[in-house]
Amino acid sequence: MFTGIVTDLGTVREVQPIGGGHDHRLIIGTSPGFLADPPVALGASICCSGVCLTVVDLGGDWFAVEASAETLSRTTLGGWAPGARVNLERSLRMGDELGGHLVAGHVDGTAEVVSATPENGSVRWRFRAPRALAPYIAPKGSIAIDGCSLTVNDVAGDEFGVNIIPHTTSITTFGLLQPGGRVNLEIDMMARYVARLREYQR
């Protein structure tokens, strides 16, 4: 479980095909200290741009994870190459501050980047969600985009907007996004369960 508060911006160092080439082993470089306090152990979970992945090997400033063909096909990970930047968050510990919202690291789908428009001191980013996920996105609700916990500011059909402040831009991959790109999307788990309950009661 995570909070959607990115604490490091990692870099993909290697992409190694495994399992006949259908799965990938990813080597991700980190900032000094990201893995050290407390020390990350093998088997730990790290949220990588919104995707919860298991650490299978690590060094002082890098860790390795393995992504299945299913994960590669349903997220942006299938397009990662050496040099790609990755939002990183270590798993939530009991007693940690919950600064964002509860994020499972289970990506529901990918969204298209529509536009980025300066708005006062921030930037209004607009995204187009898959039609099946759009009903779960509501104004002032929470959403995780590439692992970042954000508040939805407006919704219009399949599109929604969020405002990104300069600090978030500087420490996450939002500083690298371009219209036409794709991001990992995780809808608020509360919205998911409410919708499921309503469906079951029909």
Quick check: do 8-90 and 109-201 share a fold? Answer: yes
According to DSSP, residue 59 is labeled: -
For residue 33, pLDDT beyond 70: yes
pLDDT at 202: 65
Q: Specify the CATH number of the domain 109-201.
A: 2.40.30.20
For residue 1, pLDDT beyond 90: no
For residue 189, pLDDT beyond 90: no
For residue 58, pLDDT beyond 70: yes
pLDDT band at 97 (very low <50, low <70, confident <90, very high): confident
Mean pLDDT of the region 119-132: 96
Measured between alpha carbons, how far is 46 from 43 in angstroms, rounded to an integer? 10
pLDDT at 102: 86
- The CATH class for the domain spanning 8-90 reads mainly beta
According to DSSP, residue 42 is labeled: T
Helices (H) and strands (E) in the chain, counts: 3, 13
For residue 118, pLDDT beyond 90: yes
DSSP string, 65-133: EEE-HHHHHHSGGGG--TT-EEEEEEPP-TT----S--B-S---EEEEEEEEEEETTEEEEEEE--TTT
For residue 198, pLDDT beyond 90: no
What is the per-residue pLDDT across 16-25, written as a single tens digit (0 to 9) for each? 999 888 999 9
Handedness of CA 35, 163, 80, 130 (dihedral sign): positive
Residue linked to tokens 């020390």: 39
For residue 101, pLDDT beyond 90: no
Give residue limits of the domains in the chain.
Answer: 8-90, 109-201
Higher pLDDT among residues 161 and 195, named by residue? 161
Average pLDDT, the chain: 93
Mean pLDDT of the region 85-94: 92
pLDDT at 92: 84
Mean pLDDT of the region 151-164: 97
Q: Can you tell me whether residue 13 is helix, strand or coil?
A: strand
Query: Peptide bond before 38: cis, by omega within 30 degrees of 0?
Result: yes
